[in-house]
Amino acid sequence: MTLTQPLQTTGPGLTGPALSLQDVTKSYPGGVIALDHMSLQVPRGSFLAVMGPSGSGKSTLLHCASGLDQPTSGTVLLGDTEVTRLSETKRTILRRGRIGFIFQAYNLVPSLTVEHNITLPLRLAGASVDRSWLKALIERIGLTDLLTRLPGELSGGQQQRAAIARSLAARPDVVFADEPTGALDLETATEVLTLLRDLVDEFGQTVVMVTHDPAAAAWAHETVVMRNGGIHRHFVRPTADELTACMRQLRTRA
């Protein structure tokens, strides 16, 4: 059985950007400004890559956009919902229902099976699981045979795919990926990126990916290159070479 319905069915207003940052600033005591009046719109069903040299603020952007952190000023909107003014608990509730996460280190719970890991966010929300839909998702991602294994028994690629399944289980508005291929070899990385791109193209999932790897960023629809807390350049469907050149330019400039 294949997935025919769009992945994302929750959230009001299926029109409008999936994610919107308006004039977001994040500063730390001591005078460090990680994000400097940043504005960004992520259209629904798109694959956005965020690149930049270290210190450019890309991780901070991810944290603020996903509600993991609160910006010093500005607004973050997830669909129609304002994230910035919510309490920690409300943001957590938001995360488990409407945001998915993928990490470089996978961060699966080591003592739970793959199946339990995938359904964990739903369990935490107390939400019921659409068994048939989940089965189809797992089949699409290719994890059906691995459901009863522990994360420690899986390869890096398999763990990351399990993490992707987990991030999609609640049918989120946006999936945030923080260097998802950082720990994977070239072949496995390609598998994972292909999967992410497929999820976007076939099923309308919105994905925001932070990466330092131009080759990975080339899989996205659009790429934003950050520098010093702001957007330096905005590419549409760039090639890996274009991105590499841009990054090199930034390094020599700095």
Partner 1 sequence: MTSPMFRPAWSMARARLGGLIAVACAVFGGAAMITVGAVLAETALTSHLPPDRLADADIVVSGRQQYPVVEDLDIALSERVTVPADVESRIAKVPGVAEVAADLTFPVRIADSGQRIDAHGWDVAASSDPDLTGSAPRGSDEIALDDQTATATGLRLGDSTTLSVYGKAHTFRVTGVVDAPGDGIFFDSDTATSLAGRSDGAVDLFAVTVQQGVRVDSVAKDISAALDDDLVVSMGAARGDVETIAAGTARGELIALAGSLAGTLLILIGCIVGGAMSVSVASQRRDLALLRAVGATPRQVRRLIATQASIVAVAALIPGIAVGYVAANVFAGQLTTGGLLPAGLPVAVTPFAGLAVAALMLLAVQISARTAALRASRMSATEAVAESRVEPRTPSRVRTVIGLVLIVSAVPQSLLPLVWRSEEAFMAAVTGTLTAIIGVALAGPALVRAVTRRAVRHVGSRSSSTTWLALHHSRAYALRTAGSVTVLALAIGLTIAQVATGATFERATADELDAGFTADATITGTIAQADLDALASEPGIDAAVPFASTTVLRTSTFAGDVSTEPHPAFAIGHDPQRVVDPSVVAGDLADLHGDTVALSSAASGSWDADVGDTVELTLANGVTVDPVVVAVYDRGLGFGAAMLSADVLTLHGDQRWFDQALVTGDAGTVAAWADDLPAVHAASAAPTPSDDEAALERTINLFVLLPMLGYILLAVANSLAASTARRRHELAALRVIGMTPRQILAMVRRETAVVAALSIGAGLLVAVLPMSVLGLGFLGRPWPQGPWWLVPAIAGLVGAIALGTTSLSARRAIRSSPAAVLAAQD
Question: Residues in the site for partner 1, rule: CB under 8 A?
Answer: 59, 63, 68-69, 88-89, 92-93, 95-97, 101, 103, 105, 107, 109-112, 116, 120-121, 123-126, 150, 152, 166
Residue with Cβ nearer partner 1 (77 or 108): 108
Residue with Cβ nearer partner 1 (168 or 243): 168
Quote the distance between the C-alpha of residue 221 and its chain's center: 14
Residue with Cβ nearer partner 1 (3 or 93): 93
Alpha helices in 30-76 (DSSP H): 58-65
Least distance to partner 1, CB of residue 182, Å? 12
β partners of residue 231: 226
Residues ≥6 apart with Cβ < 8 Å to 34: 26, 27, 28, 57, 60, 229
120: part of which helix (H) or strand (E)?
A: helix 114-125
What DSSP string runs through 218-247?
Answer: TTSSEEEEEETTEEEEEEES--HHHHHHHH
Residue with Cβ nearer partner 1 (109 or 254): 109
Quote the distance between the C-alpha of residue 232 and its chain's center: 21
